[in-house]
Structure 1
């Protein structure tokens, strides 16, 4: 009896991704990806790695993710001049959350940059409501000795938006979920960058006097000399007469765990560490940023309560000493 013939399945037709024409991949597929997706695609195959490493792809991604980086041709050229990849390197510096180790071990190795560029973008429901490129000179004596603060708006400047301003309690929860902010510090001399924002707000509160909403973004950084510090960004929002939301203040400050604002000299050492240090992976950056902020605020509250208890104990000791002196005086006076 002849052996039964087993028909092998026909070879699969060549219809995979690798058969697509390179022009289709470069012109119609890869430009539709965002930065993290493009970075993931580069890890799949050698072909995709070659196609996804083109500077124009990453330059377009940087400009679409952070419109402030396209505000000046000089900044675009600066981003293209970043070492080991140009705009792709810039994206890897600016996208992830800073790590706790970002500020260690750089204060004496590299001098702080004489100038900082701040590329700031604020979005609400993914719609851009504020963008600015700001230059800060850091080599003056007044800057070093004064409290560190970068203001993007003058005191009476107001930026209107097309967003309806909610005056009730639901406005804080809405902004907490819907507003995003990116604050990228760029060292134009050393070709380095770091995003010091938590991406989404860590806290929203209403000002007790004006009723304006103060939206806080923060990065908690570990330092060698000051322990943990907070690089805090506050966006103040109010309502116009027509009911639209206005951006009235955007500022950056750095304070330690005791709530003391650092001066320019100490702040630049910390920011130098952030620029030169390691960056995170970019995963869970919103949740991680809020967790670090809660821990920082808890430590700050505990230190304040401990200080109040210590001061209270000292006050009681001084009061007891005073009473003892008065009693001793009266006893001496009565016994004469």
Structure 2
């Protein structure tokens, strides 16, 4: 009796079948046999997967206006940007490698899985101004509203938006996705009335929060990324670079439950920040009370001294 294995199929047939898999399934198939590993390592297959996952990668970016897939091997980029980063990455991990001199953001907003808008943003990260200022990256600014296509003309529901924000260090050839993909909170701005859809990941005890602001007509008006520490203070450019560099070097975590885990970590971070603020307010109130009591005691002592003369 002759047994037939999958590797008895022609390589072109196997390659065509592998190109129909998603990234996770393709990586799993490459672990089966040496033959499948060789076929699954095809650069064009991984390039097509990356472009399907992140349409922004086809746009020019970086200091030379190149497509990001020419700066990073597609398989390396997918392995870095698809799994969630480790929330426990310590900022000191990458100290020996130095800080990134340039960051390139590949930003994609989706509605019900369909791409809504894509942007590539270059951020020079070596200037003293950037290193000393609060970290913030604008992908879409209100003064330059995002152009929409036919897919976004139907006023998308903010609650159904998804976001991917891939930060790339071209010089080191590493990347990390700093978005929770799905919203962790949805609310309205108290002044403008815009709907604010927030996406966040917690890295090294700090929070990277991307905010998509939707105008009343459903148009995406702003998309920005900022970082905040456990006390609610803005993280500076140098501190954010250390966190990002550590996250790029740290192990990744996969799994379908990661968006919910990211949401849980976000709410835990917000709860702890609120607790720290309340404790700080109580300590300050106690200090004020002690100072007032001491001042009153001094005044009474002076009055008593004058009265007893």
TM-score, normalised relative to structure 1 = 0.83
Contact preservation (8 Å) 2:195, 2:216: no
Displacement of 1:140 in angstroms is: 1.3
CA distance in 1, matches of 2:202, 2:196: 19
Aligned residue in 2 for 1:20: 9
The answer to whether the aligner puts 1:316 opposite 2:304 as a matched pair is no
Distance 1:26 1:107, change over 3 A: closer
Aligned residue in 2 for 1:51: 39
The answer to whether the aligner puts 1:124 opposite 2:115 as a matched pair is no
Contact preservation (8 Å) 1:121, 1:128: yes
Residue 326 of structure 1: which of 287, 299, 302 is its match?
Answer: 299
Q: What is the SS of the residue equivalent to 1:142?
A: helix
Aligned residue in 1 for 2:121: 134
Aligned residue in 2 for 1:66: 54
Q: What is the SS of the residue equivalent to 1:163?
A: coil
Provide structure 1 residue ranges, at least 5 long, that are not aligned to the other structure. Answer: 1-10, 223-227
Displacement of 1:263 in angstroms is: 1.6
Give the number of the structure whose alpha-carbon radius of gyration is greater.
1
Provide structure 2 residue ranges, at least 5 long, that are not aligned to the other structure. Answer: none
Residue 232 of structure 1: which of 195, 202, 209 is its match?
Answer: 209
Displacement of 1:49 in angstroms is: 2.0
Aligned residue in 1 for 2:226: 253
Displacement of 1:164 in angstroms is: 2.4
CA distance in 2, matches of 1:120, 1:81: 17
The answer to whether the aligner puts 1:181 opposite 2:163 as a matched pair is yes
Contact preservation (8 Å) 1:104, 1:277: no
Contact preservation (8 Å) 2:92, 2:242: no
CA distance in 2, matches of 1:257, 1:275: 21
The answer to whether the aligner puts 1:164 opposite 2:152 as a matched pair is no
Q: How many residues align?
A: 302
Contact preservation (8 Å) 1:199, 1:286: yes
Residue 268 of structure 2: which of 295, 299, 302 is its match?
Answer: 295
Q: What is the SS of the residue equivalent to 1:44?
A: coil
Distance 1:265 1:142, change over 3 A: same
Residue 110 of structure 1: which of 86, 89, 97 is its match?
Answer: 97
The answer to whether the aligner puts 1:100 opposite 2:87 as a matched pair is yes
Displacement of 1:81 in angstroms is: 5.5
Task: Give RMSD over aligned pairs.
Answer: 2.2
CA distance in 2, matches of 1:30, 1:152: 34
Q: What is the SS of the residue equivalent to 1:32?
A: coil
Deviations 1:274-322 (A, max 9, x none): 2222222344220221121122112111111110110111111122223
Displacement of 1:329 in angstroms is: 3.6
